[in-house]
Amino acid sequence: MNQIARDWTDYEVLDAGNKEKLERWNHVVLRRPDPVAIWPIDDERPWKKADAVYHRSNKGGGQWEFKKSVRDFWTISYKDLRFKISPTGFKHTGLFPEQASNWDFIMKAIRERKKKAPEAPIRVLNLFAYTGGATMAAAKAGADEVIHLDASKGINAWARENMELNHLQDKKIRFLIDDALKFIRRELRRGRTYQGIIMDPPSYGRGPNGEVWKLEDNIYELIDEAQKLLADDALFFIVNLYTTGFPLSTLSQTLERTVVRQHGGYVETGETLLPIQAGDAVLPCGLFGRWTSFRPEHPDPIAEAKNG
C-alpha cells in the first residue's frame, strides 16, 4: 500500500525531472536535487522562475544560489500544524512534507483512542525526530507525553521553535539529545512503555558521542529492541526509510519477525509519495512500514493472510 500526501495547501511539487524537483513552500519556490526524478523535464520555463537553486558540490554538500530575495526562514501550515522553513547548506528545509500522510495517521489513531478510552495514557516515542513533524502531530492530537529524540542539538532547538509555533508549550514534550539504541535500552531497564513509536533512521550517521550508524547493519537490531517498549495497549509502530535501494520486502519481513511475533497485529508497507502538479504524476520519497494493533483501513493483503 502506497501513501500520497495530497492535502497540502502551503506546499506542492510543481515539477520534477533531470534529478531535480521544483517546489513551492508557501510563497517561495525552490529548486533542489532529487536523485529519483530521473526522467527528462517537459517544460523548462517554470524552472526559470525559482527563487533559489541548490547546487551540489563535487566535494560534497553544496550551496544555494538565490535568484530573488528570500528570508532566512518563514512558516508553512499543514491543516492545524505549523512549521518553520529555512534553506540549509545540506539542501534541506527543515521539513519532509511527504510525512504528512503519517501525521494524519498518528493524529487519527490518538484521537480515536482518546474518544474510546479518555483516561488511558498515550505516550509516544519519536526517534531520529529531526525538527518534529511527528512530534507536533502527536502532541496536537492529545498524546499525554512525547519523547522527541535526536542526536543534533541544533535540530532539537529547531523542533522547540516548531513547538512554540504550534502553541504546544503546555504539552509534555521532552527534547532529548541521545543515541537512539542506547536510549531504548535504558528505557527497557526502567520498565518504560509507549503506545506509539516512530523512527526515521538515516542511511548513515553518528550519535552525539560519535556512535556510528549504518542502516543496513543496524536497522533490524534497532526495530527489534524498540518494539520491546510497546505497551500492551500499543497503537502503532512506524518506520520511515530514505535509503535508496533498500528493499521494501526486507522492511516488511523485519516488522513481521519482530513486532508481529511479539505483539500480533497488522503490518502495512509501501512507498511514501508526493503528487507532482505537472503531468499529474507522483514523486517517490522513500519507504514506510507501519505496524498497528488494530485492523488498518487499507490492509496489506500479505499481512491480512498471515493474520487470518
* Domain covering 97-306: architecture: 3-Layer(aba) Sandwich (3.40)
Q: What are phi and psi of 124, to 5 degrees?
A: -125, 135
Cell numbers linked to 301: 493483503
304 grid coordinates? 491480512
Position with higher pLDDT, 294 vs 159: 159
> CATH for 3-85?
2.60.40.1180
In this prediction the pTM is 0.92
User: pLDDT at residue 24 above 80?
Assistant: yes
Task: Give the pLDDT band of residue 308 (cuts 50, 70, 90).
Answer: very low
Which residue is associated with the grid cell 553518528?
206
Residues 6+ apart with CB under 8 A from 187: 125, 229
- Is residue 306 over pLDDT 70? no
**All CATH 2.60.40.1180 domain ranges in the chain, comma separated:** 3-85
| pLDDT tens profile 241-288 | 998 889 999 999 999 999 999 999 999 999 999 999 998 899 999 999
pLDDT tens-place string over residues 92-129: 999 999 999 999 999 999 999 999 999 999 999 999 99
Contact criterion met (CB below 8 Å) for 197 and 188: no
Q: Which residues in the chain are classed under CATH 3.40.50.150?
A: 97-306
Q: Where does residue 225 fall: left (phi above 0), alpha (psi -120 to 50 degrees), or beta otherwise?
A: alpha
User: Given pLDDT bands bounded at 50, 70 and 90, which one contains residue 18?
Assistant: very high
Within a 13 Å sphere around the CA of 77, how many CA atoms are in the beta-carbon half?
A: 5
